Structure 1
Amino acid sequence: MDDRAVETMSGDELLSDSDVIETAIEELLARRHQVIRRLDEIKYAEEIGAHDTARLLEKRYRLDPTEARRRVRLALALPNYPTVAAALPAPGNDLPDNAVALSSAQADAIVSALEKLPKRANIPVEELDAAADAMVQAARHMNPSDLRSLGEQVRNILDTDGPEPREAAARAREEVWVKKADDGVKFGGYLAGENAEKLQTVLQAGAKPHKTDDGEQDPRSRGKRQADALIDTLDIALASGDLPTRGGIKPHIAVTINLNDLLEAGRHATGDLTYGDGLSAAGIRRLACDAGIIPIVLGSDSQPLDVGREFRYVTNGLRNALNQRDKGCVICHAPPIYCDAHHLISWQDGGVTSLTNL
């Protein structure tokens, strides 16, 4: 290594010096693996009261616990993968000219990937060695992150029963969150496997750029095109009518607006929604263009009038009136979709199925 001040060196000299430094570091790291493995073999940490080798390294060198455990795990696993160990540039380990010289990070990526193979898979030793050799060869052109991705593919090939449990675990983590925002909602989440594929298929199909009527390029951003594709999908789902029921009624958008405002389009007129804030009369008319309309006549005190007949079970008309009147649970304020309708005076005690008794 050149001991001149770096300010006096050319670019070629600096790069050459960097090569020497990296080689020296990798040789020291390979030596460190050997030292850690031997410390663990002789149980020196227990001898001096340090619990285990990982705890000894953590305390002595002020390491994060995860880093200390990673070092010990790699050092102990390396002997199980002789092809990987032989490719490390340890002092005295002269590699042939055509051999692959692994960095410690690459070796860690390969060993960690193969160590994740479950014992129940009973992979033959020769297949494991072949996989390790293939990954060492791939390391000529792959960084540690690439090798970890390759390792997942290798595991799927060697352990044919492996992907399904992992897919099941991924599906168990699926979630979608929705929270209110100004004039709308924000949402996000996570989908796995085939469900992720479904979403991407729908968005890709609907988000294709379209030229404007005058032949110009689509002015929408990619995000806006994907939002439009999702909206189209929601429109199709709602229009199909083939949706699960909650509370006895299929999902639908409920809007309450004064009839005159709807027809005359008062400039400042708005309608009430179940979940969101007020919606303009123009927006409501857009919804009403191809919607089924269920009128509910309201009295002067905004109480629903003249809906349904007296049956034991709550009719759709009565249910709609309940949704309009109570806006959901009167105790916990859950929205109507999560609520059941109940008689105040039960049917068997003579209570009637009318709005005033629900």
Structure 2
Amino acid sequence: MATRQTRAGARRAMVLAHALDTDRHAPGRAALAAGDVLADQAQVLVDAIEALPGTVDPVVVDRAQTRLLALAADHDAAALRVLGRRILDVVAPEVADAEEARQLEAEEAHADATTRFTMTDDGQGRCHGRFTLPSAVGQMLRKQLLALAAPKHRVAHGFGSYDATHPVPTALRLGLALAEWVETYPDRHLPTSGGVSATVVVTMTLETLQGGLSAATLDTGGRVSAGEARRLACEAGIVPAVLDGESRVLDLGRTRRLHDKSQRLAMALRDGGCTADGCDMPPGLCHAHHDVPWSRGGPTTLDNGRLLCHRHHRLAHDQRYTTSHTQTGKVAFHRRE
């Protein structure tokens, strides 16, 4: 170990000596010979000057060296290295601004050219993907998902009551937020192809819509459970295509099945968030749910509607659970025996 460290130190010394032997670093060489700087400070001087863009005028380079040598009198190598990274801001701010702009433009052009998104379905109910986005877009996406996953008035936790001993991992909360973002994206903002919007169509039988167990089909070719199909049929971003026993279309997403904006606002004021017992999910992360299902004649009214978060809305359409109403107007979910 000691031998390797000695050899590495010798190599660094040789590289430094070679650099100081050039005209570009003559001021640093003279300062080291005079004892004005130590060897590690001289290395920092060399690194800082070499890091300057090749387009910088020699006069600016000289000013940078002079300034760094002056700073070396009061700063050790570690502090000097930090100062050296921004030396252009001190000796030639106009050059630093232009260089930063050039670097940022180059980075942004490269980011645009290398933007990618890939996604595959594993055939087991999950999709896996990878993406590469420009930094600004990535930061915007993260901020949007954090707003969905953890509004400022909520302590970071998952669905239901807060439990400090079992916090929900951030990756899971962000994943659920992404699913929420996709499901609730306004279809009016999506482009059309051949006169048809990019909204997903869920095809199911009337029996499935009314509580049956038969799976439903997405127009993308995928299959979803009956409970998931009924939940998706409640969402504005999904069009339910309901068929009778002879595969004739009985209904194709009548808008009266959806609560309008005024009703949603009224529910938000009335319910204050998810109405599942023990859940404090805020209104902005909740769906409008029909107490008496729309498929069974339930009206799309304020009295027949309530807010449920993503998780509890799934339970409301899951045949494995029953519901009961508490004295406070909340809904409790119970797994069937």
- For Structure 1 versus Structure 2, the TM-score category normalised by the shorter chain is 0.5 to 0.7
Aligned partner of 1:80 among 19, 24, 36? 24
SS of 1:233 mapped into structure 2: helix
Structure 1 or 2, whichever has the larger Rg, is: 1
Cα drift, residue 173 of structure 1: 1.7
Q: Deviations over 1:100-149 (max 9, x none)?
A: 61586x678545532xx2528888334543686699898722799x8998
More displaced stretch, 226-235 vs 148-157: 148-157
Q: Which residue is equivalent to 1:350?
A: none
Instruction: Tell me which protein shows more helix as a share of its residues.
Output: 1
C-alpha spacing 1:120/1:133, structure 2 compared with 1 (3 Å): closer
Cα drift, residue 306 of structure 1: 12
Indicate whether 1:255 and 2:202 are aligned: yes
Q: TM-score, normalised by structure 1?
A: 0.50
Q: Which residue is equivalent to 2:78?
A: 141
1:275 and 1:253 map into 2 onto residues whose CA distance is: 8
Q: Which residue is equivalent to 2:13?
A: 30
Q: Which residue is equivalent to 2:285?
A: none
Aligned counterparts, 1:281-320, within 5 A:
281-291=226-236, 293=239, 295=241
Q: TM-score, normalised by structure 2?
A: 0.53
1:140 and 1:166 map into 2 onto residues whose CA distance is: 30
Indicate whether 1:180 and 2:121 are aligned: yes
Aligned partner of 1:207 among 144, 149, 159? 149
Aligned counterparts, 1:47-62, within 5 A:
none
Q: Alpha carbon RMSD of aligned pairs, Å?
A: 4.7
Q: Deviations over 1:163-198 (max 9, x none)?
A: 223322222222222122231211121222321221
Aligned partner of 2:174 among 226, 229, 248? 226
| Residues 202, 241 of structure 2: 8 Å contact kept | no
SS of 1:194 mapped into structure 2: helix
| Residues 109, 147 of structure 1: 8 Å contact kept | no
1:121 and 1:245 map into 2 onto residues whose CA distance is: 54
Cα drift, residue 281 of structure 1: 0.6
| Residues 110, 147 of structure 1: 8 Å contact kept | no
Instruction: Tell me which protein shows more strand as a share of its residues.
Output: 2
Aligned counterparts, 1:229-248, within 5 A:
229-237=177-185, 239=186, 241-248=188-195
SS of 2:163 mapped into structure 1: coil
1:94 and 1:236 map into 2 onto residues whose CA distance is: 70
Aligned length: 238
Letter of the structure 1 residue corresponding to residue 12 of structure 2: L
Indicate whether 1:101 and 2:29 are aligned: no
SS of 2:196 mapped into structure 1: coil
| Residues 203, 217 of structure 2: 8 Å contact kept | yes
* Residue ranges of structure 2 left out of the alignment (5+ in a row): 151-155, 253-337
2:20 and 2:60 map into 1 onto residues whose CA distance is: 20
| Residues 113, 151 of structure 1: 8 Å contact kept | no
* Residue ranges of structure 1 left out of the alignment (5+ in a row): 1-5, 7-17, 38-74, 308-358
Q: Which residue is equivalent to 2:218?
A: 273
Q: Which residue is equivalent to 2:55?
A: 119
SS of 1:257 mapped into structure 2: strand
1:265 and 1:156 map into 2 onto residues whose CA distance is: 68
SS of 2:183 mapped into structure 1: helix
| Residues 202, 239 of structure 2: 8 Å contact kept | no
SS of 1:254 mapped into structure 2: strand
| Residues 27, 65 of structure 2: 8 Å contact kept | yes
C-alpha spacing 1:183/1:150, structure 2 compared with 1 (3 Å): farther
Indicate whether 1:161 and 2:104 are aligned: no
2:121 and 2:71 map into 1 onto residues whose CA distance is: 48
Identity %: 21
Letter of the structure 1 residue corresponding to residue 173 of structure 2: R
2:229 and 2:30 map into 1 onto residues whose CA distance is: 72
Q: Which residue is equivalent to 2:269?
A: none
C-alpha spacing 1:211/1:286, structure 2 compared with 1 (3 Å): closer
1:168 and 1:152 map into 2 onto residues whose CA distance is: 24
